[in-house]
Every structure is written in C-alpha cells, then in structure tokens.
Chain A
Amino acid sequence: MARIIVVTSGKGGVGKTTSSAALGTGLALKGFKTVIIDFDIGLRNLDLIMGVERRVVYDFVNVINGDSNLNQTLIKDKRVDGLYILPASQTRDKDALTREGVEKVLNELSETFDYIICDSPAGIEQGALMALYFADEAIVVTNPEVSSVRDSDRILGILASKSRRAEEGKEPVKEHLLLTRYNPGRVERGDMLSVEDVCEILAVKLIGVIPESQAVLRASNVGEPVILDEQSDAGQAYMDTIERLLGNEKEYRFIEEEKKGIFKRLFGG
C-alpha cells in the first residue's frame, strides 16, 4: 500500500511543483519507490521541472481513458533509481479527470509504489479537488504572505470536508505545513510573517521551511529538482523536510539571518 501525499496550496506560484519534484526525488533517494503525478491538466509543468519534457509520449488522461497503460506512460527518471513521473495532459480540459478514473490509476500504482505524490494545480476546482480527494497526507505549501496564507486556510477547510477520508468519516488527512520562499532578514525587520506567525494562524504542524533561494530558479532552468543540488540551502532544507516526513527529528536551518558583526549587532542594521 502506497502513502498518497498531495502537495497543495490554493494559491498559484508558491512552489507546489518545485516542492513536489524535490520531495518525490528525495523519497526516491531514500530508497522508496516513488511516483509524482501532475494533476495540472492543460498546464503541465512537472515534466519541465523534472527535465523530462522531451520524453513525454502518453499522459495521465490517456491512462484514464485507456488509450495507454501505465507501463507505457510512466517516465522513469534517469538520475535517481525508483523515481517515476506521470505527466499531465497538455491539451485536454480539466474535466477529463473523473473520480473513478483517478481512483483506478491510484489503485494500480498503489500495488507497486511506496509513495504517490500528487502535484495539485492552483485553485479549488476539479483538478485540485481530484488531487487531494484520495490523499492520506497533505503538504500545504505556503509563502509567508497574506494571500497565500489565506488560500492555504481555504485548502485546509476543503481537506477537512471534501477529501475521501472526510466523506467516509475516516481518520482525517494528516496535514503538514511547508513554508517556502522564506526570507529571515525580512522577518527580522518586521516586513515578513515569521515561521511562528504562520504556524499560529494556520494551526498546522510544520514540516519544513525552505529559504528564498537562487538555487530554485537555477534548478528549474536546467530541469533538475533542487534537492539534487546538495550544496544549496534550498536543497538541504528539502532534504531536512524528507527526514521529518519519514518521522525523524531534524533541527531547522536557514530560519535565521546570518550573524552580523559585533558593531552591527550593537547599533542595528
């Protein structure tokens, strides 16, 4: 039985796909057979972030419609063993995802995979609802910024009422907060919500803090998940997040501004 994890946020552009790619890759690096599914029908991007855009032949909707089977459609990552990508369709509209169809594909993947990462589209429409419906756990990606925090709160409400676990009265979806694009310097100056602020507002358990980093854009430019950039702050922060996802304690890094000299500390910056 696979663990089904949805990466969601409500708001667009906060780092869902970057996080899905990084976390999926990280789990595979840890030896778990992992598939990342792009639920953003019509606007696929996971293939680009993973650098496999030229290897897409069939897609998620093809599998649902029976035009292709999973073996033909899954793209095997060439860098990390046990990592697969199920790309979204570029042409269909988002209503192509039916609940029965998605369930069938997830059930089949569940037989052989350890982890299924569902990369949700932005918004709260069909694609986003389908991505979270079957989830056992949810990683809510949030930027320390008002509209992102509010949208995350909406998504938390939807997880609690519209997921399969909620509808069937089962144990609720396990929620995790992943704070991205965090800038400790701006937090210190009082210009940005702090980790503690966001945790207090949303009341969700924190699983990771990813600093705002040059490495993220660089990684997407070359189609390599940022977690493979082991030297980078963002890559290390994602690796820490993987440890916590696997139940290991890990101290938080990159949440404080680098130490200033004694003069600056005395008289303020």
Chain B
Amino acid sequence: MSLLSYFRPKKTTAANQAKERLQIIVAQRRRADDTSETLSAMEKDILEVIRKYYINIDSSAISVQLEQNEDDLSVLELNVTLPEDDK
C-alpha cells in the first residue's frame, strides 16, 4: 500500500466487480443442483410407492420436473407411463 493511496478515494476495482458477479452465479448454480438432487430423491420414493401399491414399473417410466415459469409460479410435473400389459 503506497502513501498516496491513503488519500485517494476508495473505488470498486474491476476485480471486485468480477468477484461479486461470480459469487451470485455460483450460489445460483449450487442452489439449482440441490433442487435437482431433491427431485431425483422424490422420484425414487414415488417409484417405490407405485411399485408397492399398484404395479411394478421400470425406473425409466417415471419423470419429475420442476419448472419455474414466472417469478411467483412453479409447476411440478409428474409423469408416469404405465405398461400396456396388465401386471
């Protein structure tokens, strides 16, 4: 730190701006990954429930998706394809 810099007004450096922007991006990515982990755990549970009470289906027959359509509206979509033959 040089003497003169004590008298210069503090300004945000380019590096500081980069850091702030990256921290937001990284936090968003980590949150999204956590959500997708929760969804796949839920998918597994739903699969087990269907197998237990209804019919034995393949793990590929089920899909769970969460869509954020607008800021205040999320749609949770659950799709289960049942096999054509009975049990």
Q: Which residues of A contact B (CB under 8 A)?
A: 145-146, 149-150, 153-154, 157, 160-161, 187, 189-194, 197, 200-202, 264-269
| Residues on B facing A (Cβ under 8 Å) | 2-5, 13-16, 18-19, 21-23, 25-26, 29-30, 33, 37
CA distance A153 to B25 in the complex (A): 9
Q: A161 contacts B16, CB within 8 Å?
A: no
Whether A193 pairs with B2 at a CB distance below 8 angstroms is no
Contact of B4 among A154, A157, A197, A267 (CB under 8 A): A267
Chain B residues within 8 Å of A202, by CB: 26
Q: Which of A153, A157, A161, A190 contacts B14 (CB 8 A)?
A: A190
Report whether B26 and A191 are in contact in the complex, using a CB–CB cutoff of 8 Å: no
Contact present for A191 and B13 (CB under 8 Å): yes
Question: Given known contacts A153-B25, A193-B18, A268-B3, what 15 new A-B pairs fall within 8 Å (CB)?
Answer: A146-B21, A146-B22, A150-B22, A150-B25, A153-B26, A153-B29, A154-B29, A157-B29, A157-B30, A160-B33, A187-B15, A191-B13, A194-B15, A197-B18, A268-B4
* Shortest Cβ distance from residue B54 to the other chain A in the assembled complex, whole angstroms: 28
Distance A76 CA – B25 CA, assembled complex (angstroms): 43
Separation in Å of the A3 CB from the closest CB of chain B?
Answer: 27
Give the residue of B2, B14, B22 whose beta carbon is less than 8 angstroms from that of A267.
B2
- Cα distance A153–B15 in the bound complex, in angstroms: 18
Q: Which of A160, A190, A194, A267 has its CB near the most chain B CB atoms (within 10 A)?
A: A190
> A190 to chain B: which residues have CB within 8 Å?
13-16
Asked whether A193 and B25 contact (CB < 8 A) given A266-B3, A268-B2, the answer is no
The secondary structure that dominates the B interface is helix
Closest B-chain residue to A196, C-beta based? B19
Q: A266-B3, A267-B3, A268-B3 are in contact. Are A149 and B22 (CB under 8 A)?
A: yes
Query: Chain B's nearest CB lies how many Å from the CB of A137?
Result: 21
Known A153-B26, A161-B33; judge A268-B13 contact (CB<8 A). no
A101 to B6, CA, bound (A): 62
Residue pair B33, A193 in contact (C-beta under 8 Å): no
Cβ–Cβ < 8 Å partners of A266 in chain B? 2-3
What residues of chain A lie closer than 8 Å to B15, measured between beta carbons? 187, 190-194, 197
Nearest neighbor of B40 in chain A, beta-carbon distance = A161
Nearest residue (CB) in B for A187 is: B15
Question: Which residues on B sit within 8 Å (CB–CB) of A269?
Answer: 2
Query: Are A201 and B22 also in contact (CB < 8 A) when A157-B29, A190-B15, A191-B15 are?
Result: yes
Residue of A nearest to B11 (CB): A190
Contacts of A197 in B (CB 8 A): 15, 18-19
Residues of A within 8 A of B29 (CB): 153-154, 157
Q: Which residue of A lies closest to B32 (CB)?
A: A157
Cβ-defined contact, B13 with A193, below 8 A: no
Shortest CB distance B85–A (Å): 31
The distance in angstroms between the C-alpha atoms of A157 and B22, with both chains bound, is: 15
Q: In the complex, which residues of chain A have a beta carbon less than 8 angstroms from the beta carbon of B23? A: 201
Assembled-state Cα–Cα distance A202/B19 (Å)? 11
Closest residue of chain B to A157 (Cβ to Cβ) is B33
Q: How far is the CB of B11 from chain A (nearest CB, A)?
A: 9
Give every chain B residue within 8 A of A161 (Cβ-Cβ).
Answer: 33, 37
* Residues of chain B lying within 8 A (CB to CB) of residue A265: 2
For B16, the closest partner residue in chain A by CB is A190
